[in-house]
Chain A
Amino acid sequence: NAGVTQTPKFQVLKTGQSMTLQCAQDMNHNSMYWYRQDPGMGLRLIYYSASEGTTDKGEVPNGYNVSRLNKREFSLRLESAAPSQTSVYFCASSVSGGTVNTQYFGPGTRLTVL
């Protein structure tokens, strides 16, 4: 099992450019998440998908869109990148329902917007 994979690992964009961050999981999890981590801070939730076909806003959704392509894949799109979106982006997945439902994280994507 690869767990949660993310591409790319690093990306540099110019202000106004667009890009899509890809995430895939092979653990048959229903729920998937996108977080951002700014320097010296904890992770903040951007969007999540509780199950295939559904997406919901998290704490900091402005400037982002998501697509739950299928059960395995959950992508994050920046339509017009801004310097304030310079951050490390993490994708995570978990089972839904039940009890503890630990989230498993990908390795992250470091994005710099110039």
Chain B
Amino acid sequence: AQTVTQSQPEMSVQEAETVTLSCTYDTSESDYYLFWYKQPPSRQMILVIRQEAYKQQNATENRFSVNFQKAAKSFSLKISDSQLGDAAMYFCAYRSANNAGNMLTFGGGTRLMVKP
């Protein structure tokens, strides 16, 4: 079974600065997808960014980018120019490409605090 580990329970960043959240995963598969979800205090789960494992190019979405290291099974999220609205729980998630049910396996989350 796949596992997803987020080793940083909490992170803090100054507004306008850059922060990187770590995620590692364990799998024996070669084809899969990785996601970062944001959960603000409203509890809604919001997709931030996603990466297909077969793509070498790292995904970017505006101020959010990933550093995908397939050999190291690492998938970190970089947030540039941090804003107060970025404060939330962030979850890394894995999905096998062979999974007909599209099931996600989540990490334990990292709470990001943004200081004004």
A residues contacting B by CB (< 8 A) are: 31, 33, 40-45, 48, 50, 56, 58, 88, 90, 92, 94, 96, 99-105, 107-108, 110
Contact = CB atoms under 8 A, between A and B. Distances in A.
A105 B40 CA distance: 13
B108 to A, nearest CB: 5
A105 B100 contact: no
User: Which interface class (under 10, 10 to 19, 20 to 34, 35 or more) fits B?
Assistant: 20 to 34
B49 to A, nearest CB: 10
Interface of B: 4, 9, 33, 35, 37, 42-47, 50, 52, 91, 93, 95, 97, 100-104, 106-109
B43 A31 contact: no
Contacts, number: 63
Contacts of B108: 40-42
A106 B100 CA distance: 21
Given A43-B91, A102-B35, A107 B42 contact: yes
A33 B103 CA distance: 8
Given A40-B108, A43-B91, A100 B101 contact: no
Contacts of A92: 45
A43 B102 contact: no
Given A33-B103, A103-B102, 13 more contacts: A42-B106, A43-B106, A45-B103, A50-B102, A58-B103, A88-B43, A96-B102, A99-B52, A100-B50, A100-B52, A101-B33, A101-B102, A108-B43
